[in-house]
Homo-oligomer: A and B are copies of this chain.
């Protein structure tokens, strides 16, 4: 996608974009002139012009004749963010299975603008490199079909995952890692190890529907605590929940909740780990989106704040390079052995070829460079989506500002039924996820989740326009 080093003009543009994003430069403020930027950044005038033109094309700044460049008042500044929801439930109520079946079927349709997924398009993966590594693997292990790599999984892959764990603020070693069939497999296996049927676990509201369904499949009950679109996990609510009942575990997405896109700040992470582990409650961290941060550094895993060894951190490459590989991992010095056993007895092993190809990919470098490009694409796409929604959707619409990941959590005006919108959108060949699947109580009826991971395109622009018209019609 991009070369290792950002180009000069990209560096300058990043500098200005960072100042805007941090609030150092506010709407309508003048940004440094081309000449002064050229001097201070020690680049040529033409490089600065290229940088400013790029920022203009992104809608971040605008040129005013005879005055210079200014931070643009973006349409979406008008969009408020949704407030957190205070939903509690002491037992899960099934989300109607037919709703989820309809959602799953929509995801598989190839004739839709797929705003219902949570992933980048297949062509955004580093396909040529991955396919070359597969060919290398076929050459070096021609008999791989009959070879099985049992849990804990390929050693070199575990070594590479351990190496990357440092970036998430928590060193680990290969023996603490179990290779699984993706992040959800890691979460489900962990819950199977930590809980027995009838136990109660703590989850966020909203949270990924797959977690809620896996929990139901395992016969567990849930307590929901709010995830605030802007502030992340509500630590006070966790304090309350811990006092109220015995919790067998918590499943949390501090790094870019799906669907809210929120990042739980480091301080809150420290507090919630302290509250939960202080009460002896193990935490299963779903860190699937952790690498997709818009801020400067990768946010920490909860493991960084865990002094008791009670956090199991689950991840994969499904949202970055290889959704179709079905390889992920669980990191846990305390339960690695139990998770290995559970993997072996319930589904034996992860696929051999993909384990080895991912190990090759990590070892050969370039993943971080790839991620830099992907993050930039996602951040730009999020901006476009926000502006387009601000322009197309009626007043009363709120959108959470994602801190990373690939989804937007949109609250529609009161009275709009997102299931009705889901069906109407399907007829217009647009896929969306209705809000009710993201809580055990089937709340969030006027919310939808939109995938901006697909990137911006004329089709997407038209789809947002169509959705806006449908919502306007439904809200009047």
Interface residues of A (CB under 8 A from B): 97, 100-101, 104, 107-108, 119-125, 127-128, 130-131, 134-135, 138, 142-151, 180-182, 184-185, 188, 192, 196-198, 210, 213-214, 217, 219, 318, 321-326, 337, 340-342, 344-354
Contacting residue for A146 out of B150, B196, B324, CB 8 A: B324
Contact A345 B182 (CB under 8 A): no
Contact A125 B143 (CB under 8 A): yes
Beyond A127-B146, A185-B348, A326-B349, 10 additional contacts (C-beta under 8 Å) are A104-B151, A104-B340, A119-B146, A119-B148, A123-B146, A134-B134, A145-B321, A188-B347, A197-B197, A324-B349
In the complex the two chains form, what is the Cα distance from A318 to B214 in whole Å? 26
Give chain B residues whose Cβ lies under 8 Å from the Cβ of A143.
122-123, 125, 127
How far, in Å, is A114 (CB) from chain B's closest CB?
A: 11
In the complex the two chains form, what is the Cα distance from A144 to B217 in whole Å? 30
Known: A182-B347, A184-B345. A323 touches B146 (CB 8 A): yes
Contacting residue for A121 out of B146, B198, B353, CB 8 A: B146
Contact B184 A144 (CB under 8 A): no
Contact A181 B181 (CB under 8 A): yes
In the complex the two chains form, what is the Cα distance from A350 to B347 in whole Å? 11
Known: A219-B197, A324-B352. A142 touches B119 (CB 8 A): no
How far, in Å, is A436 (CB) from chain B's closest CB?
A: 16
Known: A97-B341, A123-B143, A341-B101. A108 touches B150 (CB 8 A): yes
How far, in Å, is A58 (CB) from chain B's closest CB?
A: 25
Contact A148 B341 (CB under 8 A): no
How far, in Å, is A186 (CB) from chain B's closest CB?
A: 9
Q: Which 8 residue pairs are nearest across A and B when measured between Cβ atoms?
A: A197-B197, A122-B146, A324-B352, A213-B345, A122-B143, A185-B347, A125-B146, A145-B322
Which chain B residue has the least Cβ–Cβ distance from A356? Answer: B324
How far, in Å, is A193 (CB) from chain B's closest CB?
A: 8
Give chain B residues whose Cβ lies under 8 Å from the Cβ of A128.
142
**Highest count of chain B CB atoms <10 Å: which of A149, A340, A353:** A353
Contacting residue for A348 out of B210, B337, B342, CB 8 A: B210
Give chain B residues whose Cβ lies under 8 Å from the Cβ of A146.
119-125, 127, 321-324
Known: A341-B101, A347-B182, A347-B184. A145 touches B217 (CB 8 A): no
Known: A123-B146, A127-B142. A104 touches B323 (CB 8 A): no
How far, in Å, is A74 (CB) from chain B's closest CB?
A: 30
Give chain B residues whose Cβ lies under 8 Å from the Cβ of A144.
122, 127, 324
In the complex the two chains form, what is the Cα distance from A38 to B213 in whole Å? 67
How far, in Å, is A336 (CB) from chain B's closest CB?
A: 12
Give chain B residues whose Cβ lies under 8 Å from the Cβ of A100.
341
How far, in Å, is A360 (CB) from chain B's closest CB?
A: 13
How far, in Å, is A454 (CB) from chain B's closest CB?
A: 11
Which chain B residue has the least Cβ–Cβ distance from A121? Answer: B146
Give chain B residues whose Cβ lies under 8 Å from the Cβ of A134.
134, 138
**Highest count of chain B CB atoms <10 Å: which of A100, A145, A185:** A145
Which chain B residue has the least Cβ–Cβ distance from A191? Answer: B346
Contact B150 A323 (CB under 8 A): no
Contact A326 B350 (CB under 8 A): yes
Give chain B residues whose Cβ lies under 8 Å from the Cβ of A321.
145-146
Which chain B residue has the least Cβ–Cβ distance from A129? Answer: B145
Contact B323 A148 (CB under 8 A): yes
Known: A181-B181, A326-B181. A188 touches B346 (CB 8 A): yes
In the complex the two chains form, what is the Cα distance from A192 to B192 in whole Å? 12
Contacting residue for A197 out of B184, B196, B213, CB 8 A: B196
Contact A101 B348 (CB under 8 A): no
Give chain B residues whose Cβ lies under 8 Å from the Cβ of A101.
337, 341
In the complex the two chains form, what is the Cα distance from A213 to B151 in whole Å? 15
Give chain B residues whose Cβ lies under 8 Å from the Cβ of A108.
150
Known: A143-B122, A146-B121, A146-B324. A217 touches B198 (CB 8 A): no
In the complex the two chains form, what is the Cα distance from A213 to B341 in whole Å? 9
**Highest count of chain B CB atoms <10 Å: which of A122, A130, A198:** A122
**Highest count of chain B CB atoms <10 Å: which of A122, A135, A213, A348:** A348
Give chain B residues whose Cβ lies under 8 Å from the Cβ of A188.
346-347
In the complex the two chains form, what is the Cα distance from A337 to B318 in whole Å? 25
